[in-house]
Amino acid sequence: MERNKVRIEKREGIAEIVMECGSNLNAIDLQMAQELLEALQVCEDDQEVKVIVLRSAIKAFSAGGDLGYIYGVLKEGGEIDFHDLITCVGKLAVKMKSMSKLIITSIDGPAAGAGAVIAIAGDVVILSEKAQLIQAFTGVGLVPDTGGAYFLPRLVGSARAMRLFLTGESVSARQAFDWGIATEICSREELEAVTRKWAVKLSRGPLAAYANLKKQMYVSVYKDLEAFLENGEGPAQTVASLTDDFKEGVTAFIEKRKPVFKGK
């Protein structure tokens, strides 16, 4: 497929999948999700690729959903059909965890909503000190997607995960490291070099063992992910996206005010 929001750069067995849609801070809309999914498959099929790095070309990883676009549709009286997007981001989450090649996520600046989930879904998660992870879903009347309610409790425990989902609090790089979300943190200036160092080291390692280790981890930790996405996340997000609270949450965000939710 033609890619307009993502590019792939290959060097010495390392493939970098680079999100480069600065106009909406790499929002995870359907096109971005499809391009990421396709890029991962290209790298999986390429025998020259040993390790994958997922990063952003701008000083923000991803703003999550494209609320500006959604607001425009709602303002014109339209409705947002989340089915295709929820299906695609679910496939993206499964692909990241089930594919054989290791994925390093390299995060600088904010990663919100679906962007935050993609950030923590890497096998190695490297954060700059300027990184922020924000579970922004309920703030606009939605529930976590992209496997967020599956991944986060397994990383930080159910109590912390519930708090982050309910409050939308920003998690700093230091907190993320202390809570077991991140593999390593470094300065913004060092992020590229630290990421490259990890990628080179892993690309020279026992790749068959890494692939089988990743398979073991999938069966051990993530074996029910697909069922969760189909039976839990998908239906819940569809219902949430049809509520008045969702419309109010998006409108309040764009208008830079506190939302007035009514539970409907």
Model confidence at 143: pLDDT above 90:
yes
Exposed, middle or buried, 14 (CB in 10 Å: 0-12/13-18/19+)? buried
Lowest mean pLDDT among 57-71, 73-87, 117-131: 73-87
How many helices (H) and strands (E) are present in the chain, helices listed first?
12, 9
Model confidence at 75: pLDDT above 90:
no
The chain-wide mean pLDDT, for the chain, equals 95
What are the boundaries of each domain within the chain?
6-190+200-254
Q: Between the CA atoms of 57, 196, 17 and 33, what dihedral angle is there, to the nearest 10 degrees? A: -80
Q: Which among 115, 162, 154, 159 has a CA at the least distance from the CA of 134?
A: 115
118-126 mean pLDDT: 98
pLDDT at residue number 237: 94
The pTM (predicted TM-score) of the whole model is: 0.95
240-253 mean pLDDT: 94
Model confidence at 87: pLDDT above 80:
yes
Q: Which residues of 173-204 are buried (b: 16+ CB within 10 A; e: fewer)?
A: bebbeebebbbebbeeeebeebbbebbbebbe
Chain position carrying tokens 């077991």? 180
195-216 mean pLDDT: 98
Model confidence at 229: pLDDT above 90:
yes
| pLDDT classification of 68: cutoffs 50, 70, 90 | confident
Nearest-5° Cα angle at 174, 94 to 102: 30
Exposed, middle or buried, 169 (CB in 10 Å: 0-12/13-18/19+)? middle
pLDDT tens digit string along 92-120?
Answer: 999 999 999 999 999 999 999 999 999 99
- Coil, strand, or helix at residue 79? coil
- For strand 124-128 and strand 51-56, is the pairing parallel, antiparallel, or unpaired? unpaired
What proportions of the chain, in percent to the nearest 5, are helix, strand and coil? 50, 15, 30
Which residues have a Cβ under 8 Å from the Cβ of 243 and sit 6 or more positions away?
141, 264
134-139 mean pLDDT: 96
pLDDT at residue number 82: 83
Which residues have a Cβ under 8 Å from the Cβ of 143 and sit 6 or more positions away?
137, 149, 233, 236, 237, 240
| pLDDT classification of 2: cutoffs 50, 70, 90 | confident
Chain position carrying tokens 């230091």? 174
- C-alpha 41/C-alpha 189 separation (Å) is 30
Architecture per CATH, domain 6-190+200-254, reads as Alpha-Beta Complex (3.90)
For 257, other C-beta atoms within 10 Å of its C-beta total 9
DSSP 54-77: EEESSS-SB--S-HHHHHHHHHTT
Model confidence at 187: pLDDT above 80:
yes
Model confidence at 144: pLDDT above 80:
yes
Identify the bridge partners of residue 103 per DSSP, sorted by sequence position: 52
